[in-house]
Amino acid sequence: MQSMTISQLARAAEVGVETVRYYQRRGLIAVPPTRSGIRRYEAPTLVRLRFIRRAQGLGFSLEEIGDLLGLDEHTDRVAARAIAREKLTQIEERIAQLQAMAHALRDLVACCEHSPAAQPCPILHTLAQPTRADSYSKSTGAG
C-alpha cells in the first residue's frame, strides 16, 4: 500500500479520520496536494502519525510533539534528550503528587474502618475540618 486515502491512513495508525484532519489543522502532519479533489497519503505520513501517538503515550502534548517532529535524528540529539528529560521530571512530579493523595486517602479509609461506629465518619469529618488539610497525615502532634 504505497498510497492511501485518509481513511486507510487513519485505520493504519489506529486513529479516527477526524483526528487525522485535526492533526493537519494543528500543523503536525502535511496536507498532501490533491489531484481532482481527493488527497492521497504516502508511508512517511503514516510514520509521522504513529510517532505522534507513541509520543502521546509517553506523556507529550501535541504542542511538544510538534517540537519533537521538528528535530533531526542526527543533529538534534541533545535537544531531544533535553525534552525527554524535562518530560520525565514533570511525570515524576505528578507521580509524587498522586502518591501524596493516595497516601492521604489510604489513611482516611483506614481511619474510617477502625473508628467506633458511634463517631462521625472520619473521612467526611476531616474534609469539613477548619483550615489545614493535613490533620489526617503523619502525626497528630504539634510537629
Partner DNA sequence: CTAAACTCCGTAGTCAGGTACGGAGTCAAG
Partner DNA sequence: CTTGACTCCGTACCTGACTACGGAGTTTAG
- Binding of a second copy by 120 (CB under 8 A): yes
Q: In the block, which residue shows the cell 479533489?
A: 37
- Binding of DNA by 6 (CB under 7 A): yes
Select 31 or 88, whichever has its Cβ closest to DNA.
Answer: 31
Select 21 or 50, whichever has its Cβ closest to a second copy.
Answer: 50
Select 16 or 120, whichever has its Cβ closest to DNA.
Answer: 16
Q: Residue 85: which of DNA, a second copy, none does it interact with, CB under 5 to 8 A by kind? A: a second copy
**Residue 139 C-beta: closest distance to DNA, Å:** 30
Quick note: the x/- pattern for a second copy over 69-108, rule CB under 8 A, is --xxxx-xx--xx--xx-xx--xx-xx--xx-xx-xxx-x
CA distance 5 to 38: 8
Give the residue from 66, 55, 2, 54 showing the smallest Cα distance to 30. Answer: 66
Quick note: the x/- pattern for DNA over 27-66, rule CB under 7 A, is ----x--xxxxxx----------------x----xxx---
- 129: DSSP letter: S
Roughly what angle, to the nearest 10 degrees, separates helices 77-114 and 62-69?
160
List Cβ<8 Å contacts ≥24 apart for 15-19.
Answer: 15/49, 15/53
CA distance 42 to 54: 19
Q: In the block, which residue shows the cell 474502618?
A: 113
Give the residue from 25, 20, 22 showing the smallest Cα distance to 8. Answer: 20
**Residues in contact with a second copy by the rule CB under 8 A:** 47-48, 50-51, 53-55, 57-59, 68, 71-74, 76-77, 80-81, 84-85, 87-88, 91-92, 94-95, 98-99, 101-102, 104-106, 108-109, 112-113, 117, 120-121, 123-131, 133
